Chain A
Amino acid sequence: MPDLGLNVLFKGKNLARLLGGLGVALKISLLSVVISIVLGIVVGLLMTWKNPISRALMRCYLEIVRIMPQMVLLFLVYFGTTRIFGWNLSGETSSVIVFSFWGAAEMGDLVRGALISIPRHQYESAAALGLSGGQTYRYIVLPQTVRRLIPLSMNLITRMIKTTSLVLMIGVVEVLKVSQQIIEANRMSSPNAAFGVYLTVFALYFFACWPISLLAGFLEKRWR
């Protein structure tokens, strides 16, 4: 069996460092997810408004986010704002800003989709029972929207976690950066470490995202 270079993981605090890196990645994605959900609900509501200006603005926002590579956004916020506005944003803050900017747009689109998927008749049958607009949202529309939204947003959350691997480009020491450091440091003693360490990173991402996928599947089945 060839040397997979797994032994470097047990040198010093390497494994703990990797897990710490994963922690940084999860922290960035978790913060971004929470902000995205809150802002995404607002964006989604604006997208379903009858006002054409708010709809057009939200449409543009969503298109920009979809077209622009996240990496470019990261560079723009991290390097660009320092030059233009003199802001000294940390890598982590820049990442959270970019991921929230991205997540709010995508979450907004999911919220919009969930809202318009509630049939018009549901509103009507609530109205026919004498429910006010507020009551209709509270007891009929929102519970159904959330049920449709959660499995969909799980997908977005796992995508966010995976995309945090980009933030090493603006100097955030997350799991991928740590693994590069470990590989570099052991280049001479275990040249095969690249395989073993990246394999471990792969496994770490997998175990971070898998439970979320499972939860999504479970909720989808339960709420149908």
Chain B
Amino acid sequence: MAEKEMTELKKGAPLLVVDHLTKRFADLTVLDGISLTVHEGEVIVIVGPSGCGKSTLLRCLNALEDIQGGEILLHGERISQNNKNLTELRQRVGMVFQSYELFPHLNVLDNILLAPTRVQKRKREEVKEEAMALLARIGLESKAESFPRQLSGGQKQRVAIIRALCMHPEVMLFDEVTAALDPEMVREVLDVILELANQGKTMLIVTHEMQFARAIADRVIFLNEGGICEEGPPEEFFDHPKTERAKQFLQTFTFSRKRS
């Protein structure tokens, strides 16, 4: 407990508070009273077996799912599908999806510029400058005029990250962003996320890349059957998991063969 308070002390003020969040699909309870506080500048990695509700949790944080109980507060303002202010709140929460979801009829630059210019009504020139600088940072400035179909999966995902960043969100959600990528493209995407962490961006990351989780996380949350089963600093979670379920889960990532 003392340790947990320490990690929280290192970080800034609470940014996102999840309080007894419950999500049901018909009779199936996917999230069962989850409580979680995300502090400014904190990087939280959510891991767990498939079907444990990781992705659903992230989707709830952006009100892409309606919730059946509890509440989600972003700086004290309630995120829910009934909130009239929802589009404004969503601008403050950036999300990157597993399947990139760039808009296929728009080129890279227009994909990035659409929301800042149409939703936030910022000047196109100003956003373009920012977008080009970010594209240059990830080595894709030459692709600004390309269409999504002309890019590799890794390139698409990096563009999707920049598209979300250009809205200047207070927190970024990454939903298994490397799960659909070829192994050699995973790295280039994870490097971008690592750089964001170094810049102090607040992030919630759902991933199956355990090495990456360990490197980037301030706090690891292990989700199982719709509840938080275990949470703690990455070293503690990966080296000395407390619960049997977490041990079992981590074992699925290690391989060994009996040799005579």
A interface list, Cβ under 8 A from B: 119, 121-122, 124-132, 135, 139-140, 143-144, 147, 223-224
Contact = CB atoms under 8 A, between A and B. Distances in A.
Given A125-B97, A130-B167, A144 B104 contact: yes
B105 A128 contact: no
B119 A127 contact: no
Interface in B103-121: 103-105, 114-115, 118-120
Contact of B103 (A127, A135, A140): A140
Assign chain B's interface to a size class.
20 to 34
A119 B103 CA distance: 11
Which of A122, A139, A144, A224 counts the most chain B CB atoms within 10 A? A139
B105 A143 contact: yes
Given A129-B164, A131-B118, A121 B90 contact: no
A128 B104 contact: no
Interface of B: 62, 64, 87-88, 90-91, 93-95, 97, 99, 101-105, 114-115, 118-120, 149, 160, 163-164, 167
B90 A129 contact: yes
Contacts, number: 63
Contact of A139 (B64, B104, B118, B164): B118
A171 B115 CA distance: 56
A135 B97 contact: no
A129 B161 CA distance: 11
B99 A132 contact: no
Contacts of A125: 95, 97, 101-103, 160
Given A128-B64, A129-B163, A224-B149, A121 B118 contact: no
A147 B64 contact: no
6 contacts: A121-B97, A122-B101, A125-B101, A125-B103, A129-B167, A130-B88
Contact of A127 (B90, B102, B118): B90
A130 B105 contact: no
Contacts of B114: 129, 131, 139
